[in-house]
Amino acid sequence: MNNKIINIFTNETDISLETRAELTKKLVDRGYTVTEESMEDADLIICIGGDGSFLETIHSCKFPKSPVIGINTGHLGFFQEISPDCLDQFITDYEDGQYSIQDLSTVKATVTTLDGRENKHLGLNEIIIKGRQSYAVHFGIAIDGKPLERFSGDGILVATSSGSTAYNYSLGGSIVDPRLDLLQVTPIAPMNTTAYRSFTSSILLPAEVSLEIYPVYDDNRIFILNDGKETGYSNVKDVKVEVSDTMVHLMRFKNYDFWNKVKTKFL
């Protein structure tokens, strides 16, 4: 008998549901307790789907302390490592301890409104700060409290290393080896004219540095997106973006190689 609890999350595609049924049977036969409800003390969280489902699982489990592994039935599957054809190998490697844990950094935004209230948002891929509707934004940007530039454009994206291959990459940002702990600040459609001057490429910040963004002119309404989830604010004083203490503990098996993944997914 085995007293381990395994939490399984899945999206609703046929292949994901079939994979869950097959995996659950194999695990129950080996004595595991398998649940589909979020459990704080789960020994392992398994997410079946694509990267979108992985992000969903991380958010619905409130950035869990338990290790997480993804089974890829989705499109891209950057976080997702295990193929649904290799469930037996996965269980054997798991039981033999043939894995390591990759601690992924997350990025935190603290929004302070003019009445002094603070709200926090956490992202595994990125935090985006943009204007309401389709208006251009004008932000002051400071690094560790020292003003750097006045940004004009659609918005600012701040990616973690593991988020560098997502939206950041579509915006022309760089792919970052996850062994580097940094924040990548990537402009979204920066305006760079004689009227407005903004950096047009990404800037990289070490993990211990924070970035502050504050509305200039009269408009202090913004949208924050953490991993694609949108929250609107009015009366914003400033937004502080920094690496959070919270980490996501991703299980990695012996054949995992980041650059091989990049090669097969992007080239």
Rg, the chain, Cα only: 20
Measured from the CB atom, is 119 or 170 closer to ligand NAP? 170
140 binds Mn ion (CB under 5 A): no
- The least CB distance from residue 9 to ligand NAP, in Å, is 14
How far is CA 121 from its chain centroid? Answer: 11
Q: Is 51 a catalytic residue?
A: yes
CB atoms within 10 A of CB 246: 16
- Binding of Mn ion at residue 228 (CB under 5 A)? no
Q: How far is the CB of 52 from Mn ion (least distance, A)?
A: 3
Q: Which is nearer to ligand NAP, 169 or 214 (CB)?
A: 169
According to the binding rule CB under 6 A, does residue 76 interact with ligand NAP?
Answer: yes
**Which of 51, 85, 88, 245 is the catalytic position?**
51
Q: Which residue is nearest to ligand NAP (CB)?
A: 52
> Residue 34 or residue 61: which is nearer to ligand NAP going by CB?
61
User: Binding ligand NAP by CB under 6 A: which of 48, 55, 58, 122?
Assistant: 55
Q: Is 175 exposed, middle or buried (0-12, 13-18, 19+ CB in 10 A)?
A: middle
Query: Using the rule CB under 6 A, which residue among 48, 105, 126, 176 binds ligand NAP?
Result: 126
Among 64, 67, 70, 74, binds ligand NAP (CB under 6 A): 74
Strands 44-49 and 68-72: parallel
Contacts of range 255-263, beta carbons closer than 8 Å, 24 or more positions apart: 256/81, 258/177, 258/178, 259/177, 261/78, 262/165, 262/175
Shortest distance, position 11 Cβ to Mn ion, whole Å: 9
Per-residue b/e over 111-140, b at no fewer than 16 CB within 10 Å? bbeeeeeeeebbbbbbbbbbbeeeeebbbe
Taking the least distance from each CB to ligand NAP, the nearer of 34 and 176 is: 176
Using rule CB under 5 A, residue 52 touches Mn ion = yes
The yes or no reply on residue 167 touching ligand NAP (CB under 6 A) is yes
Q: Cβ atoms within 10 A of the Cβ of 86, count?
A: 14
- DSSP bridge pairs for 116: none
Tell me how far apart the alpha carbons of residues 223 and 218 are, in angstroms, rounded to a whole number.
16
Q: Which is nearer to Mn ion, 52 or 140 (CB)?
A: 52
Looking at the annotation, which residues are catalytic? 51
User: Site residues (CB under 5 A) for Mn ion?
Assistant: 52
